[in-house]
């Protein structure tokens, strides 16, 4: 990676924290203020990420005691994973939404109840047995990448101070339930996490016991975002860019096109797994398959809620869907 430490303004520095996935890096941001630094989304906890943070803090002349708070847009491991590491060194509070914290507990505490819930969901939607077994191991592998886990201070919608400026924390569900973006209306800048990304279509997953219709929630919150005035957006992946509102609108169109495509595929009954393979192809890693299948289910849930498709009775324990 070219230089991973990129100053954007007097206050805002982007840190590209490495990821062992095709995404390659997650953007953390340091926001400087008179009371210290805010770290937004510190990254996935790996030895490479630790090394980069040590290098970045040293180059920027920031001591651990200068870190005032760690603020999370959402609970996904590539954003949340280093929060506990930072808290152990700085004693700083880690701020996350209540819905985010609930999912952290479902995913990584104790017996990791989300793993069992997800596997049961995937089995009902036709994922073959061999993939189910691989998926179990894959999900367990994330625990060490988010450990040690921080003590969380709840962050609610409303005002939040990052550095010396007050931002509006706006709940933006869809990519993740409880996702927050931080918007500065005066400067027309936004830290948008993974809600809107340039070039990449953020994953929208159906997860048991989290949100009934995540894609419906996503399309609504994208419409809200498209109405904001934004000159510069700081995303969770790729590079900061200026076309935020247009991109939010483009993502809405993208999902409507995909919904129409899936609806067409269902002129004959198919399981979500079969729709997933037809849409995303056969060459997926287990990591990609997990997100592709959850995303397919999210689309089918919306089509069913809108009365465009219906679910057939279980056949060998698997649901099939067909166009109305």
Position of tokens 């996350």? 96
Q: What is the total count of residues that contact Zn ion (CB under 5 A)?
A: 4
The smaller minimum CB distance to Zn ion, of residues 29 and 321, is found at: 29
d(CA 201, CA 321): 25
Give the shortest CB-81-to-Zn ion separation in angstroms: 10
Interface region with Zn ion, contact rule CB under 5 A, candidates 7-15, 188-196, 211-219, 223-231: 188-196
Residue 42 lies near Zn ion (rule: CB under 5 A)? no
**286-305 and 129-140 helices, crossing angle to 10°:** 110
Among the listed residues 194, 211, 263, 274, the single contact to Zn ion using CB under 5 A: 194
Position of tokens 């495509």? 261
Site string for Zn ion, 247-266 (x = CB under 5 A): --------------------
Give the shortest CB-172-to-Zn ion separation in angstroms: 12
Interface region with Zn ion, contact rule CB under 5 A, candidates 80-88, 163-171, 228-236, 277-285: 228-236
Among the listed residues 78, 211, 274, 295, the single contact to Zn ion using CB under 5 A: 78
The answer to whether residues 295 and 148 touch, using CB atoms and an 8 Å cutoff, is: no
Give the shortest CB-236-to-Zn ion separation in angstroms: 4
Give the shortest CB-303-to-Zn ion separation in angstroms: 24
Among the listed residues 236, 248, 259, 296, the single contact to Zn ion using CB under 5 A: 236
d(CA 181, CA 271): 35
Residue 45 lies near Zn ion (rule: CB under 5 A)? no
The answer to whether residues 204 and 221 touch, using CB atoms and an 8 Å cutoff, is: no
The smaller minimum CB distance to Zn ion, of residues 32 and 74, is found at: 74
The smaller minimum CB distance to Zn ion, of residues 78 and 263, is found at: 78
User: How do strand 321-323 and strand 232-235 relate by DSSP bridges?
Assistant: unpaired
Cα dihedral 270, 281, 205, 133, rounded to 10, equals 90
User: How do strand 309-311 and strand 321-323 relate by DSSP bridges?
Assistant: antiparallel
Which residue in 13, 16, 69 sits closest to 43, CA to CA?
A: 16
d(CA 152, CA 131): 34
Interface region with Zn ion, contact rule CB under 5 A, candidates 48-56, 116-124, 165-173, 231-239: 231-239
Site residues, Zn ion (CB under 5 A): 76, 78, 194, 236
């Amino acid at each position: 990676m070219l230089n991973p430490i990129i100053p954007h303004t007097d206050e805002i520095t982007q840190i590209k924290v490495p990821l062992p996935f095709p995404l390659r890096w997650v953007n953390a941001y340091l926001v400087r203020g008179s009371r210290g630094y805010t770290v937004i989304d510190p990254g996935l906890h790996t030895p490479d990420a630790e090394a980069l943070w040590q290098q970045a803090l040293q180059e920027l002349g920031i001591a651990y005691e200068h870190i005032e708070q760690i603020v999370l847009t959402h609970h996904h491991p590539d954003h949340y994973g280093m929060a506990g590491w930072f808290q152990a060194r700085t004693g700083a509070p880690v701020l996350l939404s209540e819905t985010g914290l609930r999912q952290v507990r479902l995913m990584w505490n104790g017996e990791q109840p989300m793993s069992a819930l997800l596997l049961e969901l995937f089995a009902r939607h036709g994922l073959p047995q061999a993939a189910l077994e691989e998926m179990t191991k894959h999900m367990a592998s994330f625990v060490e990448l988010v450990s040690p886990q921080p003590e969380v201070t709840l962050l609610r919608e409303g005002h939040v101070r990052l550095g010396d400026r007050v931002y509006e924390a706006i709940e933006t569900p869809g990519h993740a339930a409880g996702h927050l973006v931080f918007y500065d209306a005066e400067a027309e800048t936004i830290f948008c996490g993974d809600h809107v990304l340039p070039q990449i279509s953020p994953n929208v997953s159906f997860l048991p016991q989290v949100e009934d219709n995540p894609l419906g929630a996503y399309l609504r919150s994208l419409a809200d975002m498209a109405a904001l005035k934004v000159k510069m957006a700081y995303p969770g992946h790729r590079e900061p860019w200026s076309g935020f509102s247009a991109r939010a609108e483009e993502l809405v169109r993208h999902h409507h096109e995909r919904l129409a495509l899936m609806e067409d595929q269902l002129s004959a009954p198919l399981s979500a797994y079969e729709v997933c393979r037809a849409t995303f192809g056969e060459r997926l890693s287990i990591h990609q398959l997990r997100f592709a299948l959850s995303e397919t289910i999210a689309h089918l849930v919306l089509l069913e809620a809108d009365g465009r498709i219906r679910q057939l009775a279980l056949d060998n324990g698997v649901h099939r869907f067909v166009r109305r």
